[in-house]
Amino acid sequence: MFDSLGKRILWLFSLLFLGCVLLTNAVGWYLLKTHLLQEGKIRFALLIKEVEDVLEEAHFNIELAKLKGFLNPLEIEILEKEEALSQISALTNRSEVKFLILEKGSPLAGDKGLLEQHPTPGLYKKIFFEPFSWEIYLAMDEKRFWQEIYRVLNFYFAILLTIIIVSLAVVYHFYRRWIKTPFETIYQALHQRKPPPTTGIKELDALCLHINQALEREKEWQKNLAFTEKMSALGVLAGGYAHEFNNLLQIIAGHLKLAQIWCERDSKEKALARLKEAEKATLRGAEISQRILRLSRKEIGLQEQRSPVDKVIFHTLEALKRAFPKDIKISYQAEKGLFVPLSDDALQEIILNLALNARDAMGDRGELIIKAFRKGDHVVITVEDTGPGIPPELKTRIFEPFFTTKEVGKGTGLGLYVVHQLVTEAGGTIEIKEREGGGASFVITLPFSEPKPSSKEKETRETSLPRRKLKILVVDDEEEILKNVKEYLDVLGFEVKVARSAKEAKRLLEAESFDFLLVDLIMPGKGGDWLIRKLNSGQKTKVILMTGFTGEFHEKIEDLLAEGLVVEILRKPFQIDTLKDLFQRLDAS
């Protein structure tokens, strides 16, 4: 029916004039009725709330006088009732509302004929206030509605004139939408190499069908190419992380063996030195595992961290100077005393990835400028380069994982994706802007954080914490983790019990009470989240959740934190000596 422009224009004008007549009457009467009724209901509801507040305040003052032991509370009650009557009368007069107050069935104040009227539903309210034995009737004065009708009639005629004018604009609108826009849409789609949409015009749709088929074939070819490139990048990534982990395992095994040898030879200092080196390697492995998790999905429940912006930028750029060509000038300006809610390693990774991205864009010559300053409650970090800039069509894809404009084998497309993940996890934003004079500018906005207390302040605070023998239940299906944690807590003097499953832990919790529950998230059978929800609401046990990987349990952990069932998230692997400070801090809170 609408497959030609002539038919569209004919039907358009016919429907337009018919619609104008119907719409004018319908809209006018609808607005007249609903506007007045809705306005009256809102004002009436606000009045009821004010009357209830007056009654509650009077009752509160009387009860307060009784508690304070005034000699004549009856006199105070009479005064408060009189004050309430006065306020209700003033409120109803101001709002043009009739009222009647009955005390124990007898009229006390107001319009005695109110009970004989039949007010409009929604504009009538009966309130029974038991402390005073009052029945309060409120009703809107309907005479004012006739005044509103006369006032709105002028508004109705104004709408009629407006609709006539709007009708002319609608004709032009439909011309653009049904005739001009389809042609413009097809042109823009072809210009952006996107499939053109159907327009409803036979000739254009036939042409679009052939174009879409060609674009689908091209899209399928690009998918296959992108998949091949992603698998190649994943292979490079997996190989790199495997290499790092193998090196760390070799380092840890070597230090542990040397520590064993020195223990056998009664050289305690040398054995401790090797154990400390093994611990450092373990922490490096923890950083690598967290980096891998960032590529999969957001981490949650991390302990608060504070990073000094100026120091991290300075040390990162000092290390980068060797990797930059000599003709690339590096400069930075950073205000002192700026801290953001990121670890030093995370902030360094952000600066590092953006700086390397700028280096690749500039080639052998240019300038890298990094600035950091405070703006209100946020810290702004800008990373600018004098390269060719970023084309507008790539700005929406630049932070996608595995997206890169580099040649195959020269980039995995994960650097800017990791930057975006770290910034958004810290509650910040990152924008891409054009730099004056050419080049790209990445603007990072992060919340400002107060610096961590110094070690001396921390020591003073910890020594001031109350010391007591805490009772702790540790739940994990890994036998070695249970042994390590229990032995360490026993040495600290805590009373510790262990359970190897959620069901076993539930029986212990039902039999006795504990100050803390340290529970693993993922276990065979019932998991840690099941055990936490089975805790008796009357118990005062504080729950610390241990986990090494959130994965599909991401939403469950967020729910537990939001409901207040978990007080802390302990990320595996963790330093076992952090448990002492953790328990003391949570016990003091």
Give the pLDDT score at 554.
67
Over residues 412-440, the mean pLDDT reads 81
Q: Does residue 434 contact residue 306 with C-beta atoms inside 8 Å?
A: no
Give the pLDDT score at 302.
44
Pairwise pLDDT comparison (361 vs 140), residue with the higher score: 361
Query: How far is CA 68 from each of CA 55, 62, 65, 72, 75, rounded to the nearest angstrom?
Result: 20, 10, 5, 11, 14
Name the band, by pLDDT with cuts 50, 70 and 90, for residue 409: very low
Segment holding 167, helix H or strand E: helix 143-175
Give the pLDDT score at 496.
92
Name the band, by pLDDT with cuts 50, 70 and 90, for residue 408: very low
How far apart are the C-alpha atoms of 573 and 289, rounded to whole Å?
9
What is the dihedral sign for C-alpha 475, 480, 486, 489?
negative
Q: Please say if the pLDDT value at position 421 is more than 90.
A: no
Give the residue among 496, 521, 502 at the shortest CA–CA distance from 571: 521
From 40-49, 183-192, 464-473, the region with the lowest mean pLDDT: 464-473
Give the pLDDT score at 444.
93
What is the dihedral sign for C-alpha 451, 457, 461, 462?
positive
Instruction: List pLDDT tens digits, range 512-566.
Output: 889 999 998 888 888 888 988 888 766 788 999 888 755 556 677 778 888 888 8
Q: Please say if the pLDDT value at position 246 is more than 80.
A: no
Give the residue among 384, 509, 394, 374 at the shortest CA–CA distance from 437: 384
Name the band, by pLDDT with cuts 50, 70 and 90, for residue 21: low
Over residues 206-226, the mean pLDDT reads 75
Instruction: List pLDDT tens digits, range 428-449.
Output: 999 888 887 788 889 999 999 8
Give the pLDDT score at 5.
56
% of the chain surpassing 70 pLDDT: 76
Average pLDDT, the chain: 77
Give the pLDDT score at 466.
43
Pairwise pLDDT comparison (219 vs 459), residue with the higher score: 219
Q: Does residue 385 contact residue 366 with C-beta atoms inside 8 Å?
A: yes
Give the pLDDT score at 370.
92
Give the pLDDT score at 553.
63
Give the pLDDT score at 225.
60
Pairwise pLDDT comparison (516 vs 147), residue with the higher score: 516
How far apart are the C-alpha atoms of 171 and 164, rounded to whole Å?
11
3-state secondary structure 189-242: HHHCCCCCCCCCCHHHHHHHHHHHHHHHHHHHHHHHHHHHHHHHHHHHHHHHHH
Say if strands 307-308 and 339-340 run parallel, antiparallel, or are unpaired: antiparallel
How far apart are the C-alpha atoms of 108 and 137, rounded to whole Å?
12
Pairwise pLDDT comparison (49 vs 201), residue with the higher score: 49
Q: Please say if the pLDDT value at position 379 is more than 90.
A: yes
Helix 415-425 with 344-362: angle, nearest 10 deg: 140
Give the pLDDT score at 293.
60
Pairwise pLDDT comparison (37 vs 84), residue with the higher score: 84
Task: Reduce the DSSP state of residue 302 to 3 states and report it.
Answer: coil
Instruction: List pLDDT tens digits, range 88-128.
Output: 888 888 777 788 888 887 888 888 777 776 666 667 788 88
Q: Please say if the pLDDT value at position 300 is more than 60.
A: no
On the 0-12 / 13-18 / 19+ scale of CB atoms within 10 A, 314 is: middle
Could you say which DSSP state residue 450 is in? P
% of the chain surpassing 90 pLDDT: 9
Query: How far is CA 188 from each of CA 182, 195, 204, 396, 527, rounded to the nearest angstrom?
Result: 10, 10, 14, 17, 53
Instruction: List pLDDT tens digits, range 323-354.
Output: 788 888 888 888 988 999 888 878 888 888 88
Give the pLDDT score at 303.
44
Cis peptide before 401 (omega within 30 of 0): no
From 24-33, 338-347, 406-415, the region with the lowest mean pLDDT: 406-415
- The predicted model scores a pTM of 0.41
CA Rg, the chain, in Å?
37
Name the band, by pLDDT with cuts 50, 70 and 90, for residue 243: low
